[in-house]
Each structure stands twice: as structure tokens, then as C-alpha cells.
Structure 1
Amino acid sequence: MGPREPDKGGRGRAIVVASALTATFILGLLVSRAPSVAAAGVTIHLYGRFMTPTGWSVTPGSESDPGPLISVNRGDHVTMQLTSEDGTPHIFWIDYDNDGTIDAGEPQSLQFTGSTSFTFDALQAGTFTYWCAIHKPVMRGTWVTNASDITPPTIASVAAVPARQAPGGFVNLSAGVTDDTAVTTVSVHVVGPALDVNLTMARGALDEWYLNRTYESPGAYSFTIWAGDARGNVQSRGGSFSIGTTEGGSFDYGPLLIVSISVISATLGLLIWVSRRRR
């Protein structure tokens, strides 16, 4: 029985599985390392009055109708501190569906004639009307809950220059990355012969990020660029390059070979000329 052929297919599958697991690990790493967006604790003090001047205010004695615009972010933990300035009963309430009636899930306080407070999580994004439920249609104002950023960065382009390089030569990996808030981290996962490495990319001009380094081992290389923003959203995009060889064939040593043959031919010609001169 002859020597057993190595299971090249099995080895290839193992490499693919290992690369997929590594990519999954990097995604988790980026998500865990990106700055977390903890819900903010927001305290709002409102003063209410039905007697003139009617309305709401964030400072005593300056009520107006409509009252001040109030803005929070989705996910904020909101504490409402409420004071009745005229001693009459009030109920603070945010009308999420703008139907004019108090519905389940809409933030509302207990009735108060002095001071009270209640808390809720601002989970519904949009622009709404807040009221005194007792004195509606007066004592109202505008409430805005801003939507959270859920859009990942955009990787508009990736490039490896040159796409084919000699062993030991530099390959510049670059990416154009933008985001609607701020790009906080860009890294690249490079996999090739005897190489599996995660590297941080540097920021260049405008929205360009790059990594310029050498690669020694001939073969095909793949890379995946990961970009994260301040809200923890991530995006990825991949590419490839080769060192010494490509999928389509060998690295082009033609120019070097031509020079070498020319040098050898010139040397042989010189030796023949010297030999004939000595005869």
C-alpha cells in the first residue's frame, strides 16, 4: 500500500471554519470594546399653574402655555419632579399616540397639589404633547424623544495596493469609512500562509484608514476590515491580495529573469573574448 495522500479538502475546510470562528470572535471583540451607550439619568423639574399665568415652566413663576419644549434621548431614565404653584390639583401626562386620552403605557404622574415625582424610561421615539390631564386643553407643551443611533458605519471602499507583491514587499490596506455620528475604531483581520492577525488601522486624510506593512510568506491572503462607531454599531468589508503567487498563477518574475539572462550572456561573452585573446 502506497503512502496515504494528505486530506487537502479536509484541511481546507478546517481553515475556512477557523477563519469564520476568528471573524466571529473579532466581531464580538469590537462590540465589547466599543464605547457602551448607557442610558442617561435625566431629571426634569416642571412647575405647573392653572391660575394666571397658566401653563408649565422649568423655573418658578414663569409659566407659559404652551410650556417649554422638553427633549430627551430614547433609553433615558427620566425623573420628573413636579410642583403645583397654585395649589390646585394637576396630573402630568405624555400623550404618546396624540389621541387626547390617557392610554396604558403612557407616562403619567399621580395627582399632586404640592410636589411629587415619578420616573419612567423614554422608550418611544417621536414628538408628542404633554398635558395636565385635569386642565386639558390648556397646560400643554411639546415633548421630544430622540431616536438612538442604530446605523453602523459605511465602508465605501477597500483596497490592497499592490494587489500582488513580492515576498518582503509592502502592501497598503486602506478603507474609506464614514458614520453619521463618529467612527471610533477601524481594524483589519488578515489571514494568510502562517499568518492570522488582527491589527489596528491608522487614520489618514479625511475618512481614509490604512495599514502599511510587509508580508514574507508566498501565497494568497484575505483581509476583513471592521469599523465601529461611538454607539457600538459595527460594519465589515473584505478583500484579498497575494504574495509571490495569485490564484491565477505565479508572481511575474519575467523582468527579473530577463535581466538575469542578459547578465549571464554578457558574462559568457566576456569570458569567450578573454579566452580568445590569450591564444
Structure 2
Amino acid sequence: MAGKPLGLRMSRKTTPHRRLGTSVLLLSVFLGAALLPFVLSQPAKAAQFSLTLYVSALGWSFTSGGEARPGPVLLAVQGDQVDVTMTSEDFLPHGFFIDYNGNGVPDSGDFMSPQTSGTIQFSIPADTLGTYTYGDQVVTLNTGTWVTRVNSPPEASFHAPTATTSWTGGVSHDISFDVTDPDGDPIQVSVSYSYGGGASQAIKSFAAGPTNPQIVPWTPSGFSATDTVIRVVVQDSRGASQSFNSPAFTVDSAPPTILSFSPAAGASQVDRNSLIQVNWSEPMNEAKTAAAFGLKGAGGPWVAGTTTWSTDARQLTFRPSGSLAVGTQYEVHVNATSSDASDPGNALGHDSMWTFSTGTLTDRTPPRILSLSANPIAQVADGFVNVTADIEDTGGIATVTAAIQGPGRNQNVSMTHAS
């Protein structure tokens, strides 16, 4: 495959064509300490590129009248061929050579062009790796640096998805990533996905655009997985390639379901200070789902209260602002707009409603902690600790949280029932 072997600024007398893509250049020039990129003609698959050089007794330049010592540093990629147009600005004989053997004079083993006092054209094969001095066959003080290096493959880095991404199936999402090529070559991109250890499935192939990030719209459908991976393969015009994988992320194509709730449907003599809880099959969008929840007396107004969530966002708890009325039937409503935590979210899709009736009792006795233990007793850094508590309450336990405090840690965690 051919690519851009050089990143040279053409003479103002030439007509260069800029390639589409990021402005990364292969053959560059240094005048003094400054890096001056050349602009090359559109690369061809034969890896032949045009360069215009000017020479006089004052040195080398890529612009007429700009000769200096040392001349520009020229950087090429192994396997490239540079077609040079060289003009003598002072009408004296000059000739270009690359001092491969390092003896300071043009001789056997060196690349040497014909000499001219006008304008000539010649080709330089970039086939010898390394850094060398180039010079003037006639004016020995006219020197510069020529570098031939191996072709480096392109690179890619992801913006989206990330390890915390959860994308809703059946909805378009933007895969976002940057691509770069150290040598400034055009880049071809292939994007695919896989999950569950299965084979990769193609999403799109395209030539990288001129600016980053590269955006690839994708609509995952027909599957749910927590180990979905996006693969990006980047290949330059010389054939060097690499593949890059996104972090594993979630695709969720299934709507959530209500696993259980409390008080139970049809329950009677429910304590008037009871909490209302809904347990879900997966983490939920807390804001959307809380907005879709409501409690009211049959035919009456909505009951005011506060909504809280378990740390895994699977359990909604509604605490009425005051005690419920004596001997009253209440309706619990969960609307169809309840949504899981994927982006933008799978909706429940249907309204749910159940009822329960209160009795006369009001539980005003708080729960009591009977025992608390940690196993192992002697903890070690980065080890696991099981915290166990026995809790007693006349009306039943709704939630238990533990406060973990220590050097660099101050955290509340939810505890789960052991049986």
C-alpha cells in the first residue's frame, strides 16, 4: 500500500494538493531550531512524491531566495521515493548527495544526483534507515540532515463508549474516537462490535475524516449484554494497521419488570406508618421512575412523601409525609414511563396499579440492633470484610444501612437480608 512518505512544503512555483485528513506531515524541515512542515502533492499508491529544492552558495531551501545553512531537515519513510526538482539560484554548478558512509564527500555508496547550474529532476529512494548528512557536491559547507525511518501504524483512542456506558437497544448512539497517524498518512477505519465472546459484526468502514473525533452512529438491536465491545481497526495507506478495543460496556434491549412490592396487593390491616417499596429487575433511572410513582387513597388526592433508592437503584422506597388514614384503601400507581438506567432508557411500557388497606395500628417503635460483627476480625488492606447485623422490629425491617468510616473512607452502604 502506498502512503505519504514525505511531509514537504512545496516551492511556491509548484501546485501542491493537500490530502483530506488531519494535518500530520511525514517529511518535515527544520530551519535552525524551527520545524517547518512541507506540503506534498496528493500521495499515490506508488509512493512517489514531489519536492522542490533551491540551492546556492548560501545553502539549501524549499523557497526561492531562502537558502540557509544548515538546510532543512528532511524526514522520509522507508520504501518511499521522492521526485526532486532542484534549481541552482546562483547559476553555478551544484549537486545533491546523501552521505550514507559518513566521510563527508560524495563517493561510492552515497546517493548522488547529477550536477546542474539550472534546473534538474531526479528521484531519491528512501531505502536506507537512519539519520545522515546530505550536502552539495560542489559547495561542501552546504549541508543538512536526512532521516529515513520505518512506517508507524495509526492509533485510535475512544471517547465513547466507556466502561460505565449502558446504551438502550433499538436507539441510535454515537461511537466516538480519535485517530492519528505518526507519519501523516491517510487512514482507513473499520468499526465492528461483539458480545458474549462471539464473532465481530461489522458496523461501518470509511476513510477517516479531516478532524477528530470520528463519529459513527450505531443502533444496537436484538441483544442485551454486559460485555459488549467496539473494535476499531485503523490502517494507513502503506498497509500498517492496528486494532483497538473499547472497554466492555452494556447494551440493554429489554424493558424492566417489577419483581415484587410491599405492601402486597390486597393486603389488609397494613400498619399506617408502613413504607411503600417496589423492587425492580434491573437498575432504574431514579428521576424518571420516581416521577412515575404515586400513592393515593381510593378516589382521593395523591399522598405527599419522599422517595429514596437503594444503592443499586433496584429498590424504590416511598415514605409518606405522615401516617396513613385509619381503615382506608390505598392505590399504588407505577406508570408506563418508568425507565431503566440505560441511555436513554427502556420504558416499563404499561401502567401498573395495586391496592392495600390500612388498619388502626401505627408502629412508632424504631428497630433495635441486637448484634453487629465483622468477619474477619483483623482486616487487611484491599481485603474483603463481611459485616453482619441482627435487627429486631415489631413491624418488619424495610432497609438497613451501615456507615463505613476510616482513613480515606466515609461511606454509607446498604445491607441485604442474609437468608
Query: What TM-score do you get using the length of structure 1 for normalisation?
Result: 0.50
Higher relative contact order (CA 8 A, sep 6+): 1
- Greater Cα radius of gyration, structure 1 or 2: 2
Structure (1 or 2) with the greater helix fraction: 1
Query: What TM-score do you get using the length of structure 2 for normalisation?
Result: 0.36
